[in-house]
Amino acid sequence: MRKKLFRAATLFICHLLLLSLFSCGEDVKNTKTVFAMDTVMTLTAYGKDTSAALDTAAKTIRELDKKLSYSGKESEVYKLNSSGGKPVKADDDLLTPLKVSLDVSEKSGGALDVTVFPVVKAWGFISKEYTVPTDNKLASLLKNVDWSSVKISEDSVSVPENAEIDLGAVAKGYASERAAETLISKGVKSAVISLGGNVRTVGTKPDGSKWNVAVVDPTEPGTKTVGTLKLGETSVVTSGGYQRYFEKNGKRYHHIIDPKTGRPAESGLISVTVVCDDGTYADALSTALFVLGLDKAMEYYREYGGFEAVFITDDKKITVTDGLVSAFTVSDDSGFEYAK
Ligand code: ADP
Ligand code: MG
């Protein structure tokens, strides 16, 4: 009898506990992990019954991974690259990231260039068999690198026969934007979509306060941060030489190529974090500004605007654009300080 009573009491307490966990519906946290676009992606939503929305968002990302990857039979990019120069019908999932890329290419004087793909391959960043290409090899590949050779019409795209494109510099940004749209359309009011170095927030934290997004220390990315950004609904994308690289004869070669030289960009920047309401632009810009270097990146900012940024240079100095000054806090003992 006593045992039964005890069991009933325990059950009751357990139910109470469960109720207290779920009754404050808005605060229930739900997380889904997806591996796509060569990175681990985490989708976190707060609120009641968010799991179906998260599943749909994950499906959106997986579909985009197939469409925007450079290979595979479902890849729109592959179709375009193997079309022999002829126009190929394209939907918004190809047109939008491509248009954003070309816009940033034009404004940055070609610092971002989707046609740099054969050069990226020559360094082994696709096969993961890393090599330093010869000057001759780079010179011959660079002859066909020209973003302005990609032609877009209302519903089709063409790429010259001797060129190849890759959307690696913008695909995650576009995917984060589409995943956010999916969550919002399913009624999610509070979420964080984290795709590698791309973060897209939806709404605010469940208690109405801003999100904290860390800016990783590019010299010790696994363990330290340079600072934190306090932000509402937006996109935060970081490009850095530390994200993918190999070393040969004591020299480090990273995956962001300067289309002018065909070599990993050596602009003095070691990371660029862009905050922009449009995730596709944020991704395109972070890559382009990394190639441009601090001075030209600031010129771009002053001329075109539409985004904010945190720049980190190889002398451990931080430059924050005006719109982020109050949102950014440097981490204690980070070893980084503001540039003069
Ligand atoms: P990550 O993919 O690490 O988030 P980025 O968004 O900066 O980093 O994109 C880098 C990827 O884009 C490279 O892996 C390569 O495939 C491609 N890429 C490298 N340099 C350029 C460039 N100058 N313009 C366009 N794409 C580039
Ligand atoms: Mg990018």
Q: Which is the closest atom of ligand 1 to the Cα of 173?
A: 6
208 DSSP β-pair partners: none
Q: Which is the closest atom of ligand 1 to the Cα of 243?
A: 3
pTM above the 0.85 mark?
yes
The full DSSP string for 38-68 is TEEEEEEEESSS-HHHHHHHHHHHHHHHHHH
* Torsion angle of C-alpha atoms 126, 130, 132, 136, degrees rounded to 10: -40
Q: In the prediction, which pLDDT does 13 show?
A: 42
The full DSSP string for 189-236 is -EEEEEETTEEEEES--TTSPPEEEEEE-TTSTTT-EEEEEEESS-EE
Residue 270 Cα to ligand 1 midpoint, Å, equals 14
Nearest CA to ligand 1 atom 23: 112
CA distances to 12, 240, 309, 325, 330 from 302, rounded to whole Å, are: 63, 22, 12, 16, 24
Find the ligand nearest to 167 CA: 1
- Which are the contacts of 86, defined by CB distance < 8 A and separation ≥ 6? 158
Find the ligand nearest to 114 CA: 1
* Residue 238, phi-psi category: left (phi > 0), alpha (psi -120 to 50), beta (remainder): beta
Nearest CA to ligand 1 atom 7: 287
Residue 116 Cα to ligand 1 midpoint, Å, equals 9
Q: What is the CA radius of gyration of the chain?
A: 23
The answer to whether 214 and 198 have CB atoms below 8 angstroms apart is no
Q: In the prediction, which pLDDT does 278 show?
A: 98
Structure tokens at 295: 């001075």
Nearest CA to ligand 1 atom 15: 168
The answer to whether 57 and 179 have CB atoms below 8 angstroms apart is yes
Check if CATH label 3.40.50.10260 holds for domain 73-158.
Answer: no
Best of 255, 267, 269 for a ligand 1 pocket test (most atoms within 8 Å of beta carbon)? 255
Q: Which is the closest atom of ligand 1 to the Cα of 291?
A: 23
Q: In the prediction, which pLDDT does 26 show?
A: 52
pLDDT means per 10 residues, the chain with 340 residues, are 47 40 64 96 96 98 97 95 97 98 98 98 97 98 98 96 98 98 98 95 97 97 96 98 94 97 98 98 98 98 98 98 98 94
CA distances to 61, 258, 308 from 297, rounded to whole Å, are: 30, 14, 11
Find the ligand nearest to 279 CA: 2
Q: In the prediction, which pLDDT does 89 show?
A: 97
Residue 28 Cα to ligand 2 midpoint, Å, equals 32
Q: Where are the alpha helices (DSSP H) in 114-160?
A: 117-122, 135-142
Nearest CA to ligand 1 atom 12: 169
Closest to 263 (Cα-Cα) out of 274, 250, 252: 252
Specify the fold of 28-66+169-338. T-fold (3.10.520)
For tokens 């001759």, the residue is 136
Closest to 218 (Cα-Cα) out of 124, 318, 128, 327: 318
Q: In the prediction, which pLDDT does 197 show?
A: 84
Q: Where are the alpha helices (DSSP H) in the chain?
A: 2-23, 51-68, 76-81, 92-107, 117-122, 135-142, 171-185, 279-292, 294-304
Indicate the SS3 state at residue 261. coil
The answer to whether 230 and 210 have CB atoms below 8 angstroms apart is yes
159: Cα within 13 Å, side-chain hemisphere: 27
Residue 85 Cα to ligand 1 midpoint, Å, equals 23
Residue 286 Cα to ligand 2 midpoint, Å, equals 5
Q: How far apart are CA 208 and CA 188, in angstroms?
A: 14
**Where along the chain do its domains lie?**
28-66+169-338, 73-158
